[in-house]
Chain A
Amino acid sequence: MALTSERPAPGLGASGLTKRYGEREALRDVTFEAAVGEVVAIIGPNGAGKTTLLSMLAGSLDPSAGEVRRPPGGLGWVPQQAAIYSKLSVAENLRLFARLEKVDDPGATVGRMLDLTGLGERADDEAGTLSGGNQQRLNIAIGLLRAPDVLLLDEPSSSLDPRQRDRLWAFISALAGGGTTVVFSTHNVAEAERYADRVLVLADGELLFSGGPAELERTVGGDPRDFEAAFVGFLSAHGH
């Protein structure tokens, strides 16, 4: 199923994205666009294809069919599990990826990211010694090194405590306010309702819905204050 939002100046576009592993289709003909500064949440049950979709959008997984249109200003990628070198320090991880990303001034960028993530005091600590939450902050900081036009996050808040989660979303909202397109996946539908401009509902590799959270509630009917119930009802209505 292909659903397209009618928004101008897309920051990111996917057309007919399909991923096959042998006979199995992990993702089937997914098409969508995300506008500049838009925050898009991808939600769906386990095995829906959320990570597969984000990996293909990021370019770390080649699609079996379809194509991705990425913005000229680059794309930041924050995988679900912290993708950092545990034997390198926080600063060394940032510096390494800043150099690989060919950032103009790696030193200044690393300093800015340390301030942004609040990890300045842990700059010289090995990343492997950080808590899960701090590792995730470092993980996100690496994704932001290039100040990308589009930021992709795969379940970014899953290992964060509530306070860190609030800080993360405040930060992401600020980025979106500055024109960065944000696409994130989550199991926390309340988070999607609260922070996303639009949600994409994936199930069994198929894109079932693309629209605002309120629109999804309206589609299902029932209690308009319970987005989670609307989401579950929507999936049930589609046989999932």
Chain B
Amino acid sequence: MRWLLLKDLQILRRSPFLVGLLLAYATAIPILIGLALSGDQAKPAVAILNEVPRSQYKIALGGNSVNVAKYSSRLYSAVDPIRVKTRSEAFDKVRSGEAVAALIVPQDFTTKLSTGVEQPTVEVVYNAESPLKRAAVESLIKARLADANLALSHKFVEIGAGYLDALLKGGTVDVGGTRLDVLGLRNARGIVQAAIASSPRDSPLRGPLAQVERFAAQATLGLAFSNGALRSVSSPIAVRQTTLQGDRQSLSGYLVAVAVTTSLMFVGLLLAAGLLALEREENTFARLVRGLVSRTGLLVEKAGLTALCCVPVGLLMLVVVSLVAGALDWGRFGAWLVGLVLGGLAFAAFGVAVGGVAREVRAASLLAFLVALPVAFLALVPSGAVSPALYDVISAISAVFPFKAALQAMDWGLNDAEPGFAGPAAHIAVLVVAYLALARVAIRRFA
């Protein structure tokens, strides 16, 4: 076994193109992931045409000065803004693809806003060259406008609440630029109570005054709840998140786990399948199994060597991702290794089964690609994305292949994610035994 291992390593060493590809794979992919995670490329470029004169950025609402620019900055922070000066320039940016969309804020925007009655309108221009892009841009712009709307409505509610507070407690309010002193319901009620107390018992005014006092009491009580009610109107639905399954791990950590698992899949699958099929292609299989090494021993050697190769390749990927994006917890280094070994073993065993079935290196490579991609896609389908019955079928298919279990093991190794270590490890152990058994049957056709 030792000599076979050394021989395969020697063959790998003499295949610089293959080793170069493995190393390039292990470094290029994580650099791309790292750049995607650390850069601001996620922000789409949006052309912004702001026709509002600078002097009208601030509007007066209920005696408050509101700087609209503060709210528009929320929108701009979520995109990569390209300032333009004319509508045609905005259209050109979208047409050329430099910007995914253009946002045009009209000249009368703040004037209409300041009336508190008229609704200002912003214009969004985008290229609908593909349904995917259109959906993404629409979703982005709507979400960002909703944010800005919400922030403004909070401000309006705050101003409205100020009015109500003045009505309740009394004070000074600004109406259309005129400052008014408001007595307030509580003060009015006090005055009415005093008037009732000072009037003779048989005064005909006592009845009406008592009615006014009761109204003031009821109105005071009602207005005391008005602030809370207004806040509810501005944000009618509050969200409290409860996670039933899985945990609240970061998206970037999960993406790294997916990327590393996908890379392990290709490296493990292609290497193991190729190494086994090569023994047949070089006609050495028949020579080896006539007493020099057992068939099972040969399979274990191929799977073991492949898993060993997967570990440094995966580790290199993780180190590069960590250096570029810094998204990983080095305190879990030991768990990284365990995840890599489990993933490597799972794909290596799958690879020897593929190599045993395909029997030729080229056919094995092709089969590995044809099988690997759908298996990975299936394993990534989340529950709820398809009907429950179809999801059950997908889950059953995924369970037969190693991607899902390897991803769970890797996700645990990197992010301490659910379902933890034991489940995926047991799943992989079963798959490894099953795939080796399948390969053992398949290589009966080798000789």
Contact = CB atoms under 8 A, between A and B. Distances in A.
B11 A88 contact: yes
A212 B176 CA distance: 126
A51 B212 CA distance: 116
Interface string A56-84: 00111100000000000000010101111
B195 interface: no
Contacts of A142: 287
A85 B284 contact: yes
Contact of B11 (A59, A79, A85, A97): A85
Interface residues of B, number: 19
A87 B290 contact: no
A126 interface: yes
A84 B279 CA distance: 9
A121 to B, nearest CB: 21
A60 B287 contact: yes
A61 B447 contact: yes
Contact of A99 (B3, B10, B14, B290): B3
Contacts of B293: 100
B73 interface: no
Query: Number of contact residues on A: which range applies?
Result: 20 to 34
Contacts, number: 57
Contact of A84 (B3, B15, B282): B282
A60 B447 contact: yes
A101 interface: yes
Contacts of B291: 59
B366 to A, nearest CB: 21
Nearest to A143: B287
Interface in A102-158: 126, 142
B7 A85 contact: yes
Which of B283, B287, B293 has the most CB atoms of chain A within a 10 A radius of its CB? B287
Contacts of B287: 60, 77, 79, 83, 97, 142
A88 B7 contact: yes
A83 B282 contact: yes
A88 B14 CA distance: 8
B291 to A, nearest CB: 6
Interface in B405-447: 447
Given A55-B447, A61-B447, A96-B7, A85 B282 contact: yes
B11 to A, nearest CB: 5
A207 B191 CA distance: 129
B286 interface: yes
Given A59-B291, A87-B10, A92-B10, A79 B283 contact: yes
Nearest to B12: A87
Interface of B: 3-4, 7, 10-11, 14-15, 282-284, 286-293, 447
The 4 A-B residue pairs with the shortest CB-CB distance in the complex, in nearest-first order: A60-B286, A59-B290, A83-B283, A60-B290
13 contacts: A55-B447, A60-B286, A60-B447, A83-B283, A84-B282, A85-B11, A85-B284, A86-B282, A87-B10, A87-B11, A87-B15, A97-B287, A142-B287
